[in-house]
Structure 1
Amino acid sequence: MLYKSLWVIDDTDINELLLKYTDSQHTYTEGSLIYQQDDAQDYLFFLVNGRIKVNLIDSKGTEKTLAIHEPGSFFGETAFFDQYPSFTNAQALKDSVVLFFTKKQLTNLFTDYPEIVFQIFESMGRKIRLLAFQVEYMSFLKIEQRVVALLLSLFESFGKECSINNTSLYDNCTFKGNCIEGHHLEITITDQEIAEMIGTRREAVTKAINNLKKQKLICKQKRTICCPDLNKLNDFLTNSD
């Protein structure tokens, strides 16, 4: 029913189902905050349309992106379930429609559709895994290695294998109906979003991405990223000084 990932592909069936269990639907314009750090959180949120960024901002104003949600995903689980104030912010990256669920509404939903409970747990598990990745690698790796480590993690969760279709991987990379051999990410991500996730500047990420493209380890067109050989990308990370 739900796409099993942090960031999910729109599913009209799940949207229609969830609307039967809540009458609380809110629209946010680009840049609006759904909730902030230290807010009490009485709702679990579900993104119907748009794009949501979940981040942390320290006392110096430094931002750390933890996740970016596409339509079809629950978010705000931690503060909702543990009943402590939220430790993150959620902000609309573009105009977004969000459903709010109370505990009573979720109890009714889970009673009728218990499989959704496990899908939420799986999504939470993936988020924890990504956070663990950030803690483990961000302190020890150079920026280019951080980019590769993050991409490998994303390919593991959101990569889709594709075959070549009479197109040049690097000279004709338009992603308009032509598949390439290897894997591509089913989610889109910008250099700025990568930078916020690995704790560095966008310019440094763009430089690293360009270096990886020159070595033909990845192919990137706008927000879409492909990798012709995940083994080579992994070898790059393993063998880098």
Structure 2
Amino acid sequence: MIKLTIDTVKKLDLFSNADPETLEVITKLLKIRTYPKGSYVFLEDQPAFGICFLINGSVKITKSDSSGKEHILKLVKESSVFGEVVLFNGGNYPATAITIQDSEIAILYNNDLEEQIKTDPQLALNLIKIISVRLRNAQDKIKQLALMDTKRRLYSLIINWSNNSERKGDSIYIDVSLTQQEIADLIGTTRETVTRTLKELKDSKVIEMSKGQIILLDMDRLKTYALI
């Protein structure tokens, strides 16, 4: 299990501009938990216990419809906060968080965070900014689902993933921990459409595929496809 340090905590988006004293306090308050692949971090409608930070691994946020079908709302990036929307109004988690890789997650329990905010209002401002970004991303996703066809949604998703991926020369190596069915759920289409579209991109030499990775070879052409 990783040992949290002040340097690790400073990389978390909520505490990126915190002062040294705050970082020291938060480092002591955070509790590290290890979750094997496929574990529930929290469940939809479960009483909220705190906010979570992905230290390493991968987590998906999902919501189920009336028929029980799972819909992926977003993927959590390392060093990002999730479960934060319940902080200001309490209540239950509005969605489910599931690990899709073995993951280490730091938890800041509600009482501890509320006490810290009383002495450091900058944390509250940071949370408001993060929630604002979440709302903007949700609006963008609604617009994509309404206005983009399924191929363009997949193109846009790959472009978005590439922004935080490793570059080697002209190629971008995108780690993908989702199955093709999960990718389909994320963009509101079928697995067959995802499989067919990825094959078309591969045949056009826009991407290459390897186990657990999409290698983006031609970003300019993919961006052109996304705008058509």
Give TM class, smaller chain. Answer: 0.7 to 0.9
* Corresponding residue for residue 56 of structure 1: 63
1:188 aligns with 2:188: no
Over the residues paired in the alignment, what is the CA RMSD in angstroms? 3.2
* 2:195 alignment partner in structure 1: 206
1:20 to 17, 28, 31: 28
Distance in 2 between the 1:74 and 1:116 partners?
13
1:30 equivalenced with 2:19 (yes/no)? no
1:1-241 equivalent positions in 2, closer than 5 A? 1-2=10-11, 18-22=26-30, 24-107=31-114, 123-156=130-163, 158-159=164-165, 162=167, 179-185=168-174, 187-190=175-178, 191-239=180-228
Cα distance, 1:4 vs structure 2: 5.5
Return the TM-score normalized by structure 1. Answer: 0.70
* TM-superposed deviation, 1:49: 4.2
Structure 2 residues without counterparts, runs of 5 or longer: 1-9, 15-22
Which runs of 5 or more structure 1 residues have no equivalent in the other structure? 6-14, 163-178
- Higher share of residues assigned helix: 2
Change (3 A) 1:32 1:134: same
Helix, strand or coil: the match of 1:203?
helix
Q: Give percent identity, aligned residues only.
A: 23
Check whether the contact 2:152–2:227 (CA below 8 A) recurs between aligned residues.
no
Instruction: Show CA shifts across 1:2-57 (max 9, x none).
Output: 2669xxxxxxxxx99854124x4434333232221122213111233433221111
Give the aligned length.
210
Instruction: Write out per-residue CA displacement over residues 182-235 of structure 1, whole angstroms, 9 at most, x where no aligned residue.
Output: 4444x5343333212102232321211111111122233223233333332121
Q: CA deviation at 1:135?
A: 0.6
Q: Say which SS state the counterpart of residue 29 (structure 2) adopts.
A: coil
1:93 shift after superposition = 2.2
Structure-1 separation of matches of 2:113 and 2:154: 37
TM-score normalised by L of structure 2: 0.73
